[in-house]
Amino acid sequence: MIERFFKVRAHGSTVRMELLGGATTFVTMAYIIVVNPAILAFAGIPVGPSTVATILTAVFGCLMMGFVANRPIAVAPYMGENAFIAFGLAAMGIGWQQRLGTVFVSGLGFLLITVLRVRSWLANSISPSMKHSFAVGIGLFLAFIGLYETGIVTSFVTGMPPGVLPTGVRGLLLAPDVPVKIGNLCDPLVLLAIFGFLLISVLLYWRVRGAILLGVAMTAVLGFLLGHGQAPKGIVAMPFTGEYDLSAIAFKLDVAGVLRLSFLPILLTLFLMSFLDTLGTLVGVGAAGGMLDEKGNFPEIEKPMLVDAMTCMFSGLVGTSTSGAYIESATGIREGARTGLAAVATAVLFAMSLFFIPLVAPLQQLRYAYGPALIAVGVLMVGSIRKIEFDDWTELVPAFVTIVMMLFTYNIGNGLTAGLLVYPIMKLAVGRWRELNAGAVVLALLCVVYYVFGLPH
């Protein structure tokens, strides 16, 4: 029955290879169970229910990817989008209910444009250099958050993030004249974070399965032995009860509150981030698994995009951030996974983790443990810079603008929209307007809306 449904042999695989690939993917991305709730806590979402919501979203997304799209690609709440929900919207002064509402509405938008095949059209209209610049910018943004959270880099103004430093005339920074500085390298927690990052880096070099999760766990254990942590309250716990009661956040999203013009820039930002992340992931893992056609396109890309849209809506309903396909799926594909059976195996392992939340819960309070994971993910994403066309000024400048605006304005949305807006301007300014397509123009116009309505930067 399994062979008949997933067509395992027809894809050049075996059931054993699929199960091994699914397990490998789970181990390499299970860090999201710890990191996602820790980040969303800054938005006011309680950690216990948020952990359950994160796991449920991963289970739902992986099952959908397996049974609907039959692809060996795992789905879970995105790194980057969760940072935008938690940090990027901090200046808006809106509650987490409205933030979840934006996740659901953007997911509904994804669903509509996917069904109408507009999403793939827009995705294919973006140049490769721009796509890779998004990955680089988000990677550096995540690394900066990790550096700041661990204390390796800190603000001159105690207790205030870089985005809200005091300013004087014309918005210039008051003395001191730089927003951040190196942290206290004598602090044992900072030293633990540095050790954690180096440990994860070494494990990644040796291609150890689950390098990120293993590095987080080992750093947490070392910190605990040195007296900088708390022991787990238990090993096994029933989900949906007590502090893990999902009713605290499930279906508490405020959809009506975001259906107004002032929220359009937020929805636009989530839209741009999510559909581009999904596209990049599908192309990346497709190349790793030999799933692309002769033109370099992902066959039947609408199916995994449909799964992405439906999982995003599910995320908003249960109480977590925007979700999508995970690049860590490439590790499972390297183990031989080629069908949706691998994604189903990943889903089963996530479902099992629901009953062992207390075992990983203390990690959520250990910034020195999960912070290095953010930095390491940033390192992995920064590798995309090699695929930017440095010899073509009309490609390099928009890519550069994208990266620096993300990082130095502490806002992912600023970088995405600035780059997509500068891209056609550069092409037009040098007389290469024939290289533009309708999709690029439409995206640029959407980015104009982003700035006209003035989302706080």
Which parts of 328-366 fold into alpha helices (H)?
A: 329-334, 340-353, 357-360
pLDDT over 80 at 4, yes or no = yes
Tokens in use for 133?
């610049």
167 by DSSP, 3-state: which? strand
Averaged pLDDT, 36-64 = 94
In this prediction, residue 364 carries a pLDDT of 65
pLDDT, tens only, 33-45: 988 998 899 888 9
Kind and range of the H or E element at 324? strand 323-325
Q: 76 has which bridge partners?
A: 324
In-domain check, residue 171: no
Q: How far apart, in whole angstroms, are the C-alpha atoms of residue 392 and residue 280?
A: 21
pLDDT, tens only, 369-388: 888 988 998 888 888 899 89
- Percentage of residues of the chain with pLDDT beyond 70: 91
End-to-end CA gap in the chain: 53
pLDDT over 60 at 455, yes or no = no
pLDDT over 50 at 456, yes or no = no
- Output the CA torsion sign for 50, 56, 59, 61: negative
Which of 198, 196, 228, 200 has the alpha carbon at shortest distance from 212?
200
In this prediction, residue 124 carries a pLDDT of 76
Question: Contact 152/182 with Cβ under 8 angstroms?
Answer: yes
In this prediction, residue 141 carries a pLDDT of 85
- Mean of pLDDT over the chain: 86
Q: Which domain holds residue 422?
A: 2-151+187-452
Q: How far apart, in whole angstroms, are the C-alpha atoms of residue 407 and residue 396?
A: 17
Q: pLDDT band at residue 162, thresholds of 50, 70 and 90? A: very low
Question: Contact 354/49 with Cβ under 8 angstroms?
Answer: no
Place of tokens 């250990």: 366
Q: Which of 123-137, 182-196, 245-259 comes out lowest in average pLDDT?
A: 123-137
In-domain check, residue 388: yes
Decide which of 47 and 272 is more confident. 47
Q: pLDDT band at residue 156, thresholds of 50, 70 and 90? A: low
In-domain check, residue 168: no
Which of 271, 321, 264 has the alpha carbon at shortest distance from 92?
264
Which parts of 176-210 fold into alpha helices (H)?
A: 188-205
299 DSSP assignment: T
Cβ within 8 Å of residue 130, ≥6 positions away: 395, 398, 399, 402, 419, 420, 423
In this prediction, residue 353 carries a pLDDT of 93
436: left (phi over 0), alpha (psi -120 to 50) or beta: beta
pLDDT over 70 at 235, yes or no = yes
In-domain check, residue 173: no
- Percentage of residues of the chain with pLDDT beyond 90: 43
Q: How far apart, in whole angstroms, are the C-alpha atoms of residue 110 and residue 310?
A: 8
Averaged pLDDT, 425-454 = 88
Tokens in use for 166?
């005091």
Q: How far apart, in whole angstroms, are the C-alpha atoms of residue 237 and residue 242?
A: 10
Kind and range of the H or E element at 170? none
Q: Where are the beta strands (DSSP E) in 54-211?
A: 75-77, 153-155, 180-182
In-domain check, residue 94: yes
In-domain check, residue 167: no
274 by DSSP, 3-state: which? helix
Decide which of 213 and 62 is more confident. 62
Averaged pLDDT, 157-182 = 57
pLDDT, tens only, 68-106: 999 999 999 988 788 888 877 766 778 899 999 999 999
78 DSSP assignment: P
pLDDT, tens only, 98-153: 999 999 999 998 899 888 888 778 777 888 898 888 888 888 988 998 899 899 99
Question: Contact 447/402 with Cβ under 8 angstroms?
Answer: no
Q: pLDDT band at residue 453, thresholds of 50, 70 and 90? A: low
- How many distinct structural domains can be found in the chain? 1
Predicted TM-score (pTM) of this structure: 0.78
Interior CA angle at 65 toward 321 and 37, to 5°? 25
Decide which of 81 and 190 is more confident. 190
Place of tokens 């808006």: 92
Q: pLDDT band at residue 18, thresholds of 50, 70 and 90? A: very high
Main-chain phi, psi angles of 182, to 5 degrees: -70, 145
In this prediction, residue 173 carries a pLDDT of 47
Averaged pLDDT, 218-241 = 87
CA separation, residue 232 to residues 89, 188, 322, 361, 453 (Å):
32, 21, 29, 7, 47
pLDDT over 80 at 405, yes or no = yes
Which of 73, 82, 90 has the alpha carbon at shortest distance from 34?
82
Q: pLDDT band at residue 158, thresholds of 50, 70 and 90? A: low
Tokens in use for 82?
């969760």
Q: Where are the beta strands (DSSP E) in 2-74?
A: none
- Output the CA torsion sign for 8, 13, 19, 22: negative
Tokens in use for 118?
């507009």
In this prediction, residue 368 carries a pLDDT of 93
In-domain check, residue 125: yes
In-domain check, residue 156: no
Decide which of 177 and 399 is more confident. 399
Q: How far apart, in whole angstroms, are the C-alpha atoms of residue 152 and residue 144?
A: 10
pLDDT over 70 at 1, yes or no = yes
